[in-house]
Amino acid sequence: MSLLDPLFGSAEVNRIFSDEQGVQRMLDAVLDFMPSPVDIPPVPGTDDDDKPVVRRRADDEKFSALAFKLMTDPYVGQLTFVRVYSGILKSGDSVFNPIRGKKERELKVIESEAYKKTQEVMGGGDAQATGIYAAAYRVIDVAFTPVKSVLYAAYSNFFRSGQHGIAASYSYAKRLMPRMIGYSLLACAGLFLFAPLFPLVIGKEFARTVEALRWLAVLPILKSIHYFFADALSGAGYQGVRAGAQVFVALTNVGLNFWLIPAYSWRGAAWSSIACDGLLAVSLYVALRVVLRRSQPTAGEKRNEEYALAD
């Protein structure tokens, strides 16, 4: 005769059964009554050369694990949940992925708060670039918010100035740019100097974002320049010129990402952003100068205008 001890609970908090009364009791029962991992026999498998090997559940063994779940986090990027069978995995380690047939570089390990034996591993390559780069870029977006606010408030004035030609809208942009570029310089310096404080605010697992944040700190300056140039063109009716420059830089960005990210992970994404924002600023400035030159009347047109006024 066997006795079964049923456990009841709810995964919902503040329901009929609270989180502490239900789920926590079940987890305690798993630890108390179910077999320990050390009681399970060694796990057979194959190594990189397809030779049979056996792994004991011990920290001094080589690392082996089973990836059982993939999830995309909106703030971190792709997460891979693994069950560790042997060895130890540390942040920065490289492991062989038999599905892809290659090593995953610079893994980042995040320990779950809910259950200390569960580990979340964010793989290298695109996932690593997504996590580190995305977290740093969000900080850059926040730092650029004051400049965006000024741009939104001044957008209609660009069109009012643009009614008198590209020279008037460009002149209006030049009146606003010094203060915004000055702010962007201060933001760049602040982001670079205070980047080490970032992991203290959102968690030590984001420690590697410090370097990415310092790389991207120059972006507010470049964005301030090309946004004002772009609005000056739009205000004077040259949206096509603006769109052409942006499409050209967007295609360049795609090409650079295909080249740099596989080779340099998140650093490639950061370098691509810096290069493309700088290229957009230069492209829009050149477009502005060309449009300004073409909009100026020629010497013959000036003489004709003078004769018309004399008549």
- pLDDT score recorded for residue 133: 76
Instruction: From 143, 131, 145, 105, select the one nearest 270 (Cα to Cα).
Output: 131
First to last CA, the chain: 119
138-148: pLDDT as tens digits: 899 999 999 99
Each residue of 131-142: b (16+ CB within 10 Å) or e?
bbbbbbbebbee
- pLDDT score recorded for residue 132: 72
Place of tokens 């708060």: 113
d(CA 240, CA 284): 12
Close Cβ partners of 227 (under 8 Å, ≥ 6 residues apart) = 147, 151
114-154: pLDDT as tens digits: 333 333 333 333 344 456 778 888 899 999 999 999 999 99
Please say whether the beta carbons of 265 and 106 come within 8 A: yes
Query: What residue ranges do the domains of the chain occupy?
Result: 1-34, 38-123, 127-295
pLDDT at 304 over 90: no
283-296: pLDDT as tens digits: 999 999 999 988 87
Please give the distance of CA 272 from its chain centroid, rounded to a whole number: 12
Average pLDDT over every residue of 186-200: 90
Please say whether the beta carbons of 170 and 292 come within 8 A: yes
The third-level CATH classification (topology) of the domain covering 38-123 is Elongation Factor Tu (Ef-tu); domain 3 (2.40.30)
pLDDT at 310 over 80: no
- pLDDT score recorded for residue 76: 56
d(CA 202, CA 293): 50
